[in-house]
Structure 1
């Protein structure tokens, strides 16, 4: 497992930041799922408490990613087709976006969540194609949506944040160190705390905490964490994440560590063209299929 975060440092980095608590709706769903015989109608009722979340969930479920045999029109049907555990992971990720973005209409916030959705979708499709297992693929989707969540907290306090990050990428800076210098915290640490507060698996929390620290992840991570990290970085590269967020191409982080990242997944660079077609077939635009 990667190096344990210094919790004293983490606590000090929270000065001025509030980690959003896990919504009551998710707690209710988890309690119902934990029952010996879960009631699908009650779970659907919990999700339907918020029309926006329910609608977005159905939109995702009906995307090419899930390859369902027919269009799903209700949350209850989605529960039956996807299975409860898979649906909960999906809803968990969607609720995060609604929780952190409530009332926010600025352009960078829209870019942030649009890119997170695209990275999550690409992570899911790549993990499925590489046959890494359904649960693992679903975790990769969750990671894609959660990994940059800490950015929303910094942005809420610092309007200059997007411009500063763009400059950091142009200079090829280590993002975590750059943010620590400017804000005395990083979106990796804040994202880790959000994920931990919301009860995500420890491996997901670890990858979020170090997703801009390839040397640490690749040297000290357990194999599933390395694979999850590699899928995330591959997805970011293939959808052009830095271009989506900052209008910058190429991504210096990928350029430095692409060989090691691909090694984790037993891939060669020439195979990225084929993976671009895989993403295209799943309805995901990417730099290898225009």
Structure 2
């Protein structure tokens, strides 16, 4: 299945208030991609926004990231985590700001799960490979970014979420049948607007379309995008088990494709999931 280009998708944005790329993110991206990269400049940019700097330091010191010593400043966090992971933490906070609104619902549990998914996806990437941990972290954080925007746009979207979570059909097909658009498309367009990588944006666009993982797929997706999708399915399943969630419809749909993508049986994949789940429980105390 070929993926529609941005021109084909743009009419779907009617009625959406798509958050523009924050100026500080543009500056950080330019600095990180510059030949004259300077960590002091990165630290200065983030520290200009006191609330942003505090949020980044707080997350950097969380057990999920496993720092050996406490970071007391952005400079400390940069030296211990590296610039790319710090950029991920900045994106996380900016995304949370953009997706929260006085006009919309409070989404604390959504953002908590997104943060847990980012950390889990990063660990799973270390085990399965295919992409680097930093990219997997960003994908785990950003792949459902369209959901808050769908909640803001459609008053009955909560009912759609309940239907989609319990359906044997794909999540996005339920959204499309009720609203004519799905959160994967909106998340993709947001990622493009924020100038995130094409690999990341492509994975977000197709993260409920498991057939793209097949060897005969004609989606045109990059191999790294497919790896992100597969890792995300595993990560979401681990978190559902960890949180004792009842719904596993997405896992039932995606597991055969993911197992085949990584060249293992479904039983072998289940064993890997159990091992990762055990480690997550140990880390959580």
TM beyond 0.5? yes
Show CA shifts across 1:60-84 (max 9, x none): 2223343332111101111122222
- Counterpart contact for 1:86–1:138, Cα < 8 Å: yes
Give the length in aligned residue pairs: 277
Map 1:152-171 → 2, pairs under 5 A: 152-171=148-167
The answer as to 2:232 corresponding to 1:235 is no
The answer for the alignment partner of 2:281 in structure 1 is 280
Cα 1:266–1:64 shift into 2, 3 Å: farther
The answer for the alignment partner of 1:226 in structure 2 is 226
TM-score w.r.t. the length of structure 1 is 0.85
- Counterpart contact for 1:119–1:145, Cα < 8 Å: yes
The answer for the alignment partner of 2:120 in structure 1 is 122
How far the C-alpha of 1:97 sits from its partner, in A, is 1.4
The answer for the alignment partner of 2:253 in structure 1 is 256
- Counterpart contact for 2:213–2:261, Cα < 8 Å: no
Structure 1 residue runs of 5 or longer lacking an equivalent are 286-290
Map 1:1-290 → 2, pairs under 5 A: 3-103=2-102, 106-107=105-106, 109-130=107-128, 132=129, 136-218=132-214, 219=217, 220=219, 221-240=221-240, 249-266=246-263, 268=268, 269-283=270-284
TM-score w.r.t. the length of structure 2 is 0.86
How far the C-alpha of 1:172 sits from its partner, in A, is 2.2
How far the C-alpha of 1:10 sits from its partner, in A, is 0.8
RMSD: 2.5
Structure-2 separation of matches of 1:29 and 1:8: 28
After the TM superposition, which segments of 4 or more aligned residues of structure 1 sit over 6 Å from their partners?
none
Cα 1:6–1:40 shift into 2, 3 Å: closer
Structure-2 separation of matches of 1:78 and 1:123: 21
Structure 2 residue runs of 5 or longer lacking an equivalent are none
